[in-house]
Each structure stands twice: as C-alpha cells, then as structure tokens.
Amino acid sequence: MKTFDLISATARTGDGRGYVFSPDSHAAGGIVSMETCGLELTVKRESYGDGELVSAHLDLHDGETFDPDCALELEFAMKDGAWMADTLVGEYWCRPFFGKCAADIPDETQCVVCGGTGSRKAALVVCGDTFRSVIKGSGNAERHSFSVRLRSGVGYISSADTPVIAFGCGTTANAAVHAAALCGSKLIPGADCPLREEREYPQLFEYLGWCSWDALQIRVSEAGLIEKADEFVEKGIPVRWAIIDDMWATVAGLNEAKYDSFSEMCAIMHRSALASFKADPERFPNGLKHCIDELKKRGLKVGMWHPATGYWFGIDKDSDLAKQFDGRLMTTAEGRLLPKTDLESTDAFYHAWYNYIVESGASFVKVDNQSHLRRDARGTIPIGEAAKNMHEAIERSIILKFHGCMINCMGMAAENMWHRRYSAVSRTSDDFLPENRDWFAKHITQCAYNSLVQGQFYVCDWDMWWTDDSQAQKNAVLRAISGGPVYVSDKIGRSKKELLSPLCLSDGRILRLDAPAVPSEDCISANPETSERIFKLVNRAGECGVAACFNINKEGAAGGELRPSDCGLPYNKEGYFAYDFFSHTGAKINDDEPMKITLVDCDDFRLYTIAPIYNGVAVLGLRDKYVMRAGLAGADGRTAIAKEPGTLLVYAEGDAPMFLAKGKILEYTRNDAVYTVELDETTGLRVVIMRRADETAEELMVPQYLYEDEGDDSEVIKNIIK
C-alpha cells in the first residue's frame, strides 16, 4: 500500500531544543529508528486492510521533557493536486477548506483527502491516551508536503509510545477515510472508539423531535414547554421527544438578567455558572419531575441539555454545589470552577447530576461544550487522558441510567472523536441561524464534509431548524438525506405540519437513510461556493440512491450531471430511473448517460430518488415522502410493500403493468412512464406488479414466496397467466 512517504522528523523539548532527523523512507519493515545525543525515536508503520497507522516511540534522556504543543513533528510528502481539508475552527466545530498545494493545508486540520476518483488517499488525525495529532501544510510550496504534530498540553512528558496519524486508500473519498478510521480503531493500543456500524443507535431518535432553544432560550419554563407540547397535539404533528435546553437548571442571576439582543444574552450566558443541579424554582415551580410528567402525558419523552462544564462558566463558587464537590473541583486559568480531570472526580460529578435527571423522569441527555478540555485541562493531565476520563464518566452514567441514549455536541476535536466508547450520535455543524442565507451555505458544507470524517464513527446530527424559516424547505431536505436524527426548534405557535409530514410516518417515525450523507465524488475537492457546479449530497435507501442537489455558488447558476455511481450504486444492465420529489419528473439514467442539471439560483434545488430498473420496472416509493423509497418496507421488481397508506409511484417501460392487491386489480393514473397507485386500508399496503406485454407465462410467473401467504392474490395471478 502506498500512502504518504515520511520526509523528516523533528522532536522538540520544552526549553526549545530541537532534534531533526532525515529518515530513509525505504526503511525495512516500515520501522525507522533514529537516535542522537539525548533522544531515541522510532517511527513505525502498520497496515490494516487499506489503512496504515503511523506510531512513534519517543524517549528523552538527561531529565528533559517534550514541548507540550509540539513534542514531535513528522513531515510527509504529498503531490500537489486538489485536496479537501476538514479543519477545526475554534475549539468545537470543523469546516472544509480546499486547495491544490499541500503547503496551504490549514493548521488544526483533522483530515485531508487528496487524489482523484478511483484513487483517493486520506490522512486522519488520532488521539491516544497522551497526545492528539494535528495536520498542517509545510508552508513551503517547493517541499510538496504536510506535517503532523503531537500535542499533549502538559510539560512533563519525557517518554511515550503513541499513535501519530492514520492513513487510508480507496476508490472514493469515503472509502479512503473509512480505511484510515478502521485502521486506527483496530491498531491503536487500547482504542475505545468503535466505528459507526458497531454502535447502537437509540431507538428514540428514530422519531421526530423538538428542542426548546429557539422558542424559549434561557427563559425556558414549564409553562412554555407545555404550551408548545399542546400545539403539537392540536396540529397533529407527531413529535415524540423534546430537549429542554439552555438553561433549565438553577443559575444565580439568570432570571434577573436584562438584555436587548441575542449577542447580549450570549454574553450573559458565558459569564454565568451553575448553582444547583435542580431545575430553576421560579420557572419550574412544581419541580422538574412535574414538568416532565406533564410532557409525557402529551406523548413526549424528554431529554435534558447541559454543558460538559456544568454551565458555560462552570460551577458557582458560592453555591452549595461547590461545597458538595469540595476537593473534586479545580479552578482553571480563566477562573472557572470545574470538575477535576481525573476519572474519580469527573465520574462523581456526572453520576450525581444524572441521578437527579433520571429520577425526574428524563430519557436522555444532550451534552454540549465538550471540546473545552484542550483549554481547561491544559497543564493538568495530557489531553488524551483528560478526554478519556470525561467521556468514560459521562458514558458510564448514560449506559446505566439512559440505556446509552444521548447526543454529543460541540465536541468535534480529535480527543473527543476518539474517546467515546458507546454513544452513537454527534453534532456535525455549528448552530442553526434562522433567516440567514449566508449561513445556509456554510451549514450545508459543514454538515456534508464533517460527516465524511465524523460519520465514520457516529450517526451525524445536522442540528435543529425552523419549519417557518424562509429556507425551511431546503433545511427539511438536508435532514431528509442526512441519515441522522430530525428535530426542530420552532417557536410557540409556528410549527408547520406540511414541512414535517414528508420526513416521517404518521406515528412520527422518521424515514432515516442508511448512512451519513456525504458529498458526491465530483464535489469532494472543489469548493462548492466558487466551482459553479451543483453541490450533490448523496446517500442510500437500500438498493436505491438518494441525491439532493443544491446551488450554493456565491452568484449565478450552477450546472452538473447526476449518475447512479454518485450514490455508490453498482452497474445495472437495465439502468436506473431518477425521479425528483419537487418537479414530479424523472429520466432513465446510467453512468454513460447521466442526467444534466442546471440550478438557476440558490432557491433552486432538487431531491432525487434513483431506483434500479428490473424487467422494465423501477419501484420509486411513496410520492408524499421526501425519501420516497424509505416509505416502503420492501420492494423488488415484482412487489412493493408500503409502510403506511399513500400514493405509490412506479416507473414502467412499454405497456402499462397491472397492480394487484388483496386479489383485486387496482386502478392507476399515468404520467408518461410513471404510474401512481393509491394505497389505503381497503387496498392494503402490499402490491404485486405484473408485466403483460410480450411476456411468456414463465416471465409472468411471480415467485411463490411473494404471495404464498396471500391466497387471494395468488388466484388472480394464476388466472392471468392462464
């Protein structure tokens, strides 16, 4: 396997001394050993599948210690060519950057994808129990390289065995990143980060949800929550869970605080500290349990939001809470009082808080502000150890008290990504901003490219949204294709059922796709805001592809083509039929004959179901669902089983087929080669599709297994064959 060649290695001590090596890139067995006066360094490369893990042994003599911000820097060769870098911006969130010169890769990059379709390479940062790694371009265009640096955050490390970077190869970007993630997961000693498919997704998040944030903000109250829950009941919107968000617990001075703008409110929040685990007595006069019980009566299960720090500025120093955990708290350099970073202290804090939450009747938690550790743990224990302790403490209680049901948030840094053992859901975008078109372009790219990385480990949460926002339809499409949970944050009285119904079944079960949505291959390395191409997000619903096409160019139209391979669909000799939810039009496509698409402006978008054609028939699904095929419990070229009543869409070539259900031939309407059949309690939800023209009796025979329990259908089919 050929990934990236090692060019040089530099180790640095805390007093600024540097040890520079120029290793032989053809070292035997993938091991490069170097030694100089005062330092031993061994760099090892191990393979797993299509991935490769680079690790290092470092040992300083004479009492020296490593630089907390750059203990080791390895430089790797990378040919110039288009790349995408998923980069940590600030402490919590990542966003994509694009370029063609390796030297320009931004600092704090967590994943780089380069190469072209059919031959992709990926470099993925890792975090062990001590160091986290970070990628940066060399800054020298003539070197054609990037560097990987190791950071611990503490100044007392003199010896370590540590993972450095994971590489992967694949025919697609997703495959290359997956190979790197899998390799790291399997080869890092003591790794506690299973891949997404090995995690258990909470069943609660298979249903539609709501979050209180935009509706009630820091004035969240029992009265407001009940009013919103009553609205859902009255409008027949099947929301099944709710998050009580910032800030329901007791924070001194929060109720009395005055502000005239969102920014002023945020400033108040970020200088306020948690005084008690219990719900604020003024806004929850009957206690948290009473509020949750009332919401349960209205069909909602409830989750509680909280920052990993207690509140944004930690724990109130003058509170009984501070006295309760005296000896288990520390004061940070910024003056925040937080749980100490050792496992025992962290575990005690979350265990006590979650006891109160679960006794109040809550079903899950959403934990925010997770990437604070790189700042607040600095100088105490290594960043890898601090993250491992925090996540182990949180997840211990989550498993015991909430059966693993939680949402991770504001935690995209490598130390967080690599140290959650059980939880399955993680936010992949900055906060939703209503009525903001510039934000939408940023949001869609964050969600898409971050999911390429975080989605190897987690089901990706693309954040809440409003159904009455001017971009609500586009946001609905994003959630439909995301593969993650779907929840809104509508203000009281403003939820629109018509925007939510296509996302879910009548009982609130969302039509969730098979994996996190990612950009199509031709969108990986091109900035979608300047490329003048359509931006394609792709996913799968079983054997069908789903493609959402957007124009997020800064100005003007965008053009492009849609192929089955965009969604990872295999070659099918009869081709595929692509059908757009919004225009109700479609076309037969294959990779040699793609669909050409032009989107005139940012309000022009498409959502395609791409179904394989078998014997001239492609079953598309339920017309009133964004992801039509996900509305079916099963389908093949001869049958379709709907999950609930609706309008079934079927593409058929040649003469019209027959549709049979419960022993009767069903009526249909036709638009070119697309047929619609109404399914309800009378017709039943299982349809057999018959082709008649120019077929022999053998070709008309429906396999026995399709109707062996449906005697009424079988008799009709046999009569037709005769």
For 382-401, the DSSP string reads: -HHHHHHHHHHHHHHHHHHH
Exposed/middle/buried for residue 245 (C-beta within 10 Å: 0-12, 13-18, 19+): buried
pLDDT at 31 over 80: no
At residue 24 the predicted structure's pLDDT band, cuts being 50, 70 and 90, is low
- Burial string for 568-597 (b: 16+ CB within 10 Å, else e) reads bbeebebbbbbbbbeeeebbbbbeeebbeb
pLDDT category of residue 394 using cuts at 50, 70 and 90: very high
Find out whether the peptide bond into 658 is cis, omega within 30 degrees of 0: no
What would the mean pLDDT of 221-244 be, rounded to a whole number? 98
Question: In which band, very low, low, confident or very high, does the pLDDT at 29 lie, cut at 50, 70 and 90?
Answer: low
Check residues 681 and 306 and name the one with the higher pLDDT: 306
Return the closest-CA partner of residue 454 out of 705, 215, 36, 96.
96
Euclidean distance between CA atoms 218 and 230, whole angstroms: 21
pLDDT value for 560:
96
Interstrand relation of 364-368 and 337-339 (parallel, antiparallel or unpaired): unpaired
Name the pLDDT band for 699 (thresholds 50, 70, 90): very low
Per-residue pLDDT at 205 exceeds 50: yes
For residue 34, the model assigns a pLDDT of: 73
Nearest to 215 by CA among 235, 243, 191, 238: 243
pLDDT tens digit sequence for 495-544: 999 999 999 999 999 999 999 999 999 999 999 999 999 999 999 999 99
Rounded to 5 degrees, what angle do the CA atoms 185, 187, 193 make?
Answer: 20
In terms of Cα–Cα distance, which of 239, 212, 210 is closest to 225? 212
User: For position 648, what pLDDT does the model report?
Assistant: 97
The pLDDT of 422-444, averaged and rounded, is 93
DSSP assignment of 107-162 equals TTEEEEEEEETTEEEEEEE-B-SS-EEEEEE-S-TTT-EEEEEEE-S-S---EEEE
Answer yes or no: are the C-beta atoms of 66 and 12 closer than 8 Å: yes
Question: How confident is residue 569, by pLDDT bands cut at 50, 70 and 90?
Answer: very high
CB 146 within 8 A of CB 78: yes
Per-residue pLDDT of 469-503, as tens digits, reads 999 999 999 999 999 999 999 999 999 999 999 99
Give residue 696's pLDDT band: very low, low, confident or very high (50, 70, 90).
very low
User: Whole-number mean pLDDT of the chain?
Assistant: 93
Share of the chain above pLDDT 70, in %: 94
Please indicate whether residue 339 or residue 116 has the higher confidence score (pLDDT): 339
pLDDT in the model for residue 1: 60
According to the model, what pLDDT value does residue 192 have? Answer: 81
CA 242, CA 264: separation in Å to the nearest integer? 26
In order of 203, 359, 362, 492, the CA distances from 240 in angstroms are: 11, 20, 13, 17
CA angle 628/630/636 to nearest 5° reads 90
The answer to whether the CB of 210 falls within 8 A of the CB of 489 is yes
- Six-digit token string for 332: 């940070």
Encode pLDDT of 144-159 as tens digits.
Answer: 999 999 999 999 999 9
Residue 168 has pLDDT above 90, yes or no: yes
Asked if the model's pLDDT at residue 697 lies above 90, the reply is no
Average pLDDT over residues 601-626: 96
**Residue 710 clears pLDDT 50, i.e. is over it:** no
Quick one: tokens of 295? 């919401």
Residue 30 confidence class, pLDDT cut points 50, 70, 90: low
Examine the pLDDT at 241 and tell me if it is beyond 80.
yes
Q: Is the pLDDT of residue 25 over 60?
A: no
Which of 377-381, 636-640, 716-720 is predicted least confidently? 716-720
Angle subtended at Cα 552 by Cα 550 and Cα 554, rounded to the nearest 5 degrees: 155
pLDDT of the residue at 169? 97
Span 91-147, pLDDT tens digits: 999 999 999 999 999 999 999 999 988 999 999 999 999 999 999 999 888 889 999
State pLDDT tens for residues 619-677.
Answer: 999 999 999 999 999 988 789 999 999 999 999 999 999 999 988 999 999 999 999 99
Identify the pLDDT of residue 709.
44
